[in-house]
Structure 1
Amino acid sequence: MSHILTQEEVDALLRGISGGEIETDVAVSFDPNDAIPYDLTSQDRIIRGRMPTLEMINEKFARMFRATMSSLLRRVASVTAVSVDMIKFGEFLKTLPVPTSLHLFRMDPLRGNALCVVEAKVIFMLVDIIFGGTGKDFFKIEGREFTAIESSVIRKVVINALEDLEKAWRALLDVSIVYQRSEINPQFVQIVSPTDVVVVIQFEIEVEYSSGILTLCMPYSTLEPVRERLQAGFQSEQLEADRGWVDRLRKNIAKAQAEVGVELGSTEISARDVVNMKPGDVIPLDQYASDAITVYVEGIPKYRGYPGIYKGNQAVRISEVILSKGGEDDGAEGN
């Protein structure tokens, strides 16, 4: 158990600090050469936190794609969202074997291209099942390109997947996914520079005896415009937070101070008259003393009224409210 100071020890400690006998400040030396250059444009600054809304989109896509695959294969298929990671694009490419079925697509109106990557094992499994097999046979996949039949099958599967992805994203943003082209060599799909950060989403496709991975790779810069919405919680929680924010904003605005001024009138005079003007000269205005004057709030015309005296102070009695553009003046009398 740690030692507890007595009252005498505490008093002695305080006297030592106040008298300067106990040093409280430790001198810290600074060497300018120790400073580390920092690039504000580097994507290393990105905070790799959870994206709950993106996870919900992934779960919705998995459910929809599961139904699509089961209908296509006439067998019960399972599609599960496995992980969401943020890594550099160069590191992601190093994880891809050759051959790999790579498909580029856009998500308008978001900028840039994204990737749908289908593991070769998934392709052979689907082709085997579609042509009457069990999908459990293993093939040697290295060292050859995909056949025309395999390419046709996987293209159909990917297009169906992108259609489901588009529907899943519409809960957040009305996107239009456009399929572009397919590749088998990762070197030909440089959607961003190798040092840029990408969001990698993996889904496991399982049909009876076999399984494989389908991966979505989206540049972080593509998702940046909707990053805050992706990192937000459930929509109901977000709406509740928004309502609270509106209430606080309304109360604080009601307490804010606003500058109010009046315009008695205006006129135009020549520069010669301005130069020759002296005390006692009279400047006629463009309205009569009995006319209503304009009241400005923070420089914006808001009311019309008549000048007078109230409790010994100069005052204005409001007669009209000037509505915003598109409205009509309110002719109600006021004080």
Structure 2
Amino acid sequence: MSSDNIENNPNNLNREREPVTHSLLSTGVKAVLDQALQSYERLPMLEIVFEKFSQHLATAFRHLTSEAVDVEIVSFDSLRFGEYFKTMKAPLPIVVFKAIEWENLGLLILDDNLVFTFIDILLGGKKNATAQVKREASRGLTSIEQGIVKQISEIVLTELGHAFEPVSSTTFSLERLETNPNFATITRPGDAIIVLKIKIEIENRAVYMDLVIPYKTIEPIKEQLQQVFFGDKFGNDIVWEEMIFNAIYQIDLPIEAVIINKPTPLYEVINLKIGDTIVIDHVQHEDILIRSGHIALFKGQIGKVENKVAVSITKYY
């Protein structure tokens, strides 16, 4: 068929354009969704919080195990809960926790090897074992394994609360322990979530856990998390505050004691000479005024300490 026939045949044009239009539409919708997801990622303070969290967690695990422990954040991603849900395979130790002040939920997913590593260390198992242990797919957690999972989870949630404390005082509490992902659905599949993958190195073993926080969970503190550094707008920089306080405390403030204000005509003041006496109507036990400039600060009783005139403060303004 010639090019003229193609150009003059509207049916051919429609057949050519249909797949292009469908492709552009699907690409456009995907771009809009991706852009909406990317907008959630602009929370600079959250990265600082998670960095502090990894440091606190390493210290807490060292105290628990008396071993050298290194905690590293492997990845910090934003994605849809439905996408992440597809990667979860049962059975998994899944801890559902609640941020009490924010009134919403999150997930802590522990690797089987992490649980068995802590069991070996805490209960006197084999040292320096590098073999990866897997639990049978049909078997749930034993009571001992559940106890270890809860102990680990409580430490993680406590340190997570400490890391968020400079931004917002929050208490993370363990709600329940699940092994089936279907029972750990805490948000809709299309909702955006934060997935923090954490690597824990202990006794030559590398074990992992995931921290999942829906964006709607941290919505109450979104404004604070958008700050670039601590104290950017909401003022929580202790060093800066101490510097300001010290500078203010070192300011010299002139104060004066005023016995009484006596209105006097200008001509009397002009005619005053050395030796003249100014008579005032101040009663001996009446309070006098202490001020700085025109600002009244205190009232007090005038007296004497050794060879100096003193004022005993009786009232604050």
TM-score range (shorter-chain normalised) is: 0.5 to 0.7
- For the residues of structure 2 that align with 1:43 and 1:131, how far apart are their CA atoms? 47
Answering whether residue 130 of structure 2 is matched by residue 139 of structure 1, we say no
Question: Which of 27, 36, 46 is the equivalent residue of 1:45?
Answer: 36
1:109 match: 101
What is the percent sequence identity of the aligned residues?
27
Q: Distance in 1 between matches of 2:148 and 2:117?
A: 11
From 20, 29, 54, the counterpart of 1:62: 54
Q: CA deviation at 1:228?
A: 2.9
* Structure 1 residues 196 and 43, CA gap change in structure 2 (3 angstroms): farther
Give SS of 1:201's match.
Answer: strand
| SS of the residue 1:123 aligns to | helix
Whole-angstrom distance in 2 between the partners of 1:51 and 1:62: 18
TM-score by length of 2: 0.59
Check 1:180–1:121 CA distance in 2 against 1; reply closer, same or farther (3 A cut). same
The residue type equivalent to 2:36 in the other structure is R
**1:44: Cα distance to partner?**
6.9
Give, in whole Å, the separation in 2 of the partners of 1:44 and 1:106: 29
Offset from partner CA, 1:80-126 (integer Å, 9 cap, x none): 12221111111111222322111111112213211111111111111
Structure 2 residue corresponding to 1:227, chosen from 215, 222, 239: 222
Aligned-partner residue type, residue 56 of structure 2: M
Q: Report the CA distance between 1:68 and its aligned residue.
A: 1.1
Q: Deviations over 1:267-325 (max 9, x none)?
A: xxxxxxxxxxxxxxxxxxxxxxxxxxxxxxxxxxxxxxxxxxxxxxxxxxxxxxxxxxx
The question of whether the paired residues in 1 share the 8 Å contact of 2:94 and 2:178 is answered with: yes
Equivalent pair of 2:166/2:230 in contact (CA under 8 Å): no
Verify the 8 A CA contact 1:43 1:197 in the aligned structure 2: no
More relative contact order in 1 or in 2 (CA 8 Å, sep 6+)? 2
Give the Cα–Cα distance (whole angstroms) in 2 for the partners of residues 199 and 234 of structure 1. 20
Distance 2:90 2:112 in 1: 9
**Within 1, Cα distance between the matches of 2:25 and 2:109?**
42
SS at the partner of 1:193? coil
Match of 2:171 in 1: 176
Partner of 2:122: 130
> Is 1:97 equivalent to 2:89 in the alignment?
yes
Q: Runs ≥4 in structure 1, deviation > 6 angstroms?
A: 33-38
1:190 to 2:181 alignment: no
Answer yes or no: is the 8 Å Cα contact 1:122–1:212 preserved in 2: yes
Write the distance in 1 (CA, Å) between the matches of 2:113 and 2:35. 33
- TM-score by length of structure 1 reads 0.56
Q: Which runs of 5+ in 1 are unaligned?
A: 1-32, 241-335
Task: Flag structure 2 segments of 5+ consecutive residues without an equivalent.
Answer: 1-21, 236-317
RMSD: 2.8
